[in-house]
Every structure is written in C-alpha cells, then in structure tokens.
Amino acid sequence: MASPESSVHRPDPPVCLVLGAGALGRLWAAYLPDNSRGFIPRKRDQTGHCRYALVTPTGEIRPVNVPWRQPASPDIPDCLLVTTKAQDTLTALTDVLQHLLPQTPIVLFQNGMGSQQVVAAQWPDRPVLAAVTTEGANRPDADTLIHAGLGETWVGGLNPAGCKAQSRVVTALASSGLIVHSEPDIAQRLLRKLAVNAGINPFTAIIDCPNGDILKQPFYLEHIDELCREIAALMHHKGWQVAASELRQQIEQVARTTAKNTSSMRSDIINGRVTEIRFINGWIAQECQRHHLPSRVNHMLTTWVQDLSAIA
Ligand code: PAF
C-alpha cells in the first residue's frame, strides 16, 4: 500500500514555505526557485506578494517577489522553514501545523538553545530538524535585504522522524543554490554556535558596537575568560570536551570575520525588539544552575541585556 506521503503528487523542485519573513527568512525565500517558495502570513495584511530588493554579496541588486501562501492552499509544502525569533516559534508553529500534513519536515533556524527542544517535545511524531547557518543577512530597511556574506548551512534531525527526512530536506534547501550540508550531529553544532553567540551578542548589545569592536573593550576583556570557563564546563556536561581557551579563540575569530556587522542582539535592542538572550546566555545560565556549575557571568549578561530591552 502506498504511504500517505507517496500518494501526494510532488512537483519538482520541492515546495518550501517559510514561516518568519525577517532577514534570514527573506534570504532563503530569495534564493529558492520561483514557484516553489512562499511566506506563510502571520498578519492579516500579508496578502499578495512580499516584494523586496536582494543585494547579493557581489553587490548585484535583484528584485524579489515571494507570494504569501496559506499553508492550507493546494500546494502543500514539502518542507517548512521556520525563521521566527526563538521566543515566537512555538506560538507561530502551533497556528500553522494544524494545516500541514504530519510528515511535512519542520526545519528550525532559531538562534540559541531551548526553543528547538520545546518544538521537538511538543510534536514528537513530526519530522523536526534544526539548521545552523553562517549566512549573513540584514535588513537596513523594510524593502531591502542585504546578503552580507556567503556562508554555509548544516541541517540535521532532532528526532527519529527528522533524521529520516534529513537527505530530502537537504535536497530541498540546496535547490536554493546556497551551500547546504547534512549534519549527523546537529546537537553539537548547535552548541558550538551557541557558544559563539554567547560570547559576541551580549557584549555588542551592552557596549553598543559592531562585532569586531568588542575585542578591545575593557568590559569584554574583563569577563570573557570567566564566561568561556562557565560555557566549557557546561559543554563538558553535554558531552563536548572543549577548552575555555579554544572557545575564546572561536568567539574572537567570528568577531574578526564579522567585524563590521551588527549582531542580531544589538539590532534587536536598537529597534526596540525583544532579544533572544533567554535562549543564549539565559539558557546557559539555567543549565549551569541545573548542573550546579558556576554561571555568574552568563547570569550577569542575561540580566543586563534584559534590563536594556526593558528601557529600549
Ligand atoms: O547573532 C548574530 O548576529 C551572529 O550569529 C553573530 C555570531 C553575532 C555574527 O554576526
């Protein structure tokens, strides 16, 4: 007997719908092939097309028109890319998933940790995957998307159904022309990215500077080693043996290669949005406490950024 999946007619290339039309969502939508992409509306006025200009890493300007598509429309997606902020993911997905087939893979692009695990626990039978990307994108205004730097993306399953769908999802995402890898250990890759975010984002938000400028700031220099020791001790508990000095090197390498960029957290503070601190240093502090490990610096940075958000 045909499985429900094989009985659904699948056009080629695979249809990917994007939930979350921020910088990262717009980046994927811009590169996915025409007719096989769409944004899922989250507001009443999101109808017709979402139009913006893509500025490629070589400076070329391309007009982009992505349709707003209801998830219940005839073209059921082959894949759902979730590019909402970590704190919005559960609510946004709850609204959408009732319209999607149970076998539609859900690919989570959120920063930090915690939101992915909540989704995987909430829908254990659905294919849930996580993606870690180094693609750089930002939106200087509502109509422009800057693809600041070419990167790479790693995708891996967070549950057994997600692992089964992994190669299908990699093929779907690779139809964009962006570089996509299948990642057998996505949990560790998420932890590596988390450590880098924890060492860059809060400092850029608090000091209010581009990524590269933190490296000479007394506030960063005073706290970075203790921060890295806290993170390394937690990573040890999570099965990743990494020295604090290695973490510092990785943080500083990313800060240097993205020196002129404004981090997502600094941008959130500047624009009066809620930051993802709860899922970055907040998650680390909470996990450290759970394992009776020191968390002073992670806790201090979390509280500081939350206070900045409150007054922004
Ligand atoms: O969150 C961000 O903005 C980026 O992931 C990072 C690592 C700070 C580099 O710009």
* % of the chain at pLDDT higher than 70: 95
Q: Considering only CA atoms, which residue is closest to atom 3 of ligand 1? A: 263
- Residues 148 and 243 reside in one and the same domain: no
* Mean pLDDT, residues 157-168 taken together: 97
* Probe target for ligand 1 pocket from 193, 250, 261, with the most ligand atoms within 8 Å of CB: 261
Q: Are residues 116 and 197 in the same domain?
A: no
Closest-CA residue, ligand 1 atom 4, reads 263
Domain boundary, last residue among 135, 153, 184: 184
- The reported pLDDT for the residue numbered 155 is 98
pLDDT surpasses 70 at 11: no
Share of the chain above pLDDT 90, in %: 86
The Å distance, Cα 238 to ligand 1 centre, comes to: 23
Report the sign of the C-alpha dihedral through residues 218, 214, 220, 299, in that order. positive
* Whether residue 19 is found in the same domain as residue 166: yes
Shortest-distance Cα residue to atom 7 of ligand 1: 197
**Residue 62 in this model has a pLDDT that exceeds 80:** yes
Residue identifier of the C-alpha nearest atom 1 of ligand 1: 264
Q: What residues line ligand 1, using a CB cutoff of 6 Å?
A: 111, 196-197, 200-201, 211, 254, 258, 261, 263-264
Residues 119 and 216 in one domain: no
Is 193 one of the annotated active-site residues of the chain?
Answer: yes
Domain identity same for 297 and 199:
yes
Number of domains making up the chain: 2
pLDDT level of residue 35 (50, 70, 90 thresholds): confident
Q: Which atom of ligand 1 is nearest to the CA of 263?
A: 3
Among 132, 157, 184, residue at a domain's last position: 184
pLDDT at residue 3 greater than cutoff 70: no
Q: Give yes or no: residues 128 and 145 share one domain.
A: yes
pLDDT above 50 (res 4): no
Question: Which one of the listed residues 164, 193, 216, 260 is annotated catalytic?
Answer: 193
Condensed to tens digits (0 to 9), the pLDDT of residues 104-161 reads 999 999 999 999 999 999 999 999 999 999 998 999 999 999 998 899 999 999 999 9
* 130: CATH: 3.40.50.720
pLDDT (average), residues 213-228: 98
Q: Select from 154, 184, 214 the last residue of a domain.
A: 184
Tens of pLDDT, residues 198-219: 999 999 999 999 999 999 999 9
Q: What is the pLDDT of residue 195?
A: 98
Report residue 6's pLDDT band, with 50, 70 and 90 as the boundaries. very low
- Could you tell me if 234 and 247 are in contact, meaning their C-beta atoms sit under 8 angstroms apart? no
Question: Tokens at residue 196, please?
Answer: 């880098």
Q: What is the mean pLDDT of residues 232-245?
A: 96
The CATH number of the domain where 255 resides is what? Answer: 1.10.1040.10
Q: Does residue 219 sit in the same domain as residue 128? A: no
| Domain membership of residue 265 as a residue range | 188-311
Q: What is the mean pLDDT of the chain?
A: 93
Residues 229 and 295 placed together within one structural domain of the fold: yes
Query: Is residue 5 over pLDDT 90?
Result: no
Average pLDDT over residues 244-264: 95
So what's the pLDDT on residue 78? Answer: 87
Same domain, 247 and 168: no
Same structural domain for residues 304 and 204?
yes
Q: Does residue 164 sit in the same domain as residue 37?
A: yes
Q: Kindly report, residue by residue over 68-116, the tens digit of the pLDDT.
A: 998 876 667 889 999 999 999 999 999 899 889 999 999 999 999 999 9
Q: Residue 201 CA: which ligand 1 atom is closest?
A: 8
Q: Does one domain contain both 98 and 230?
A: no
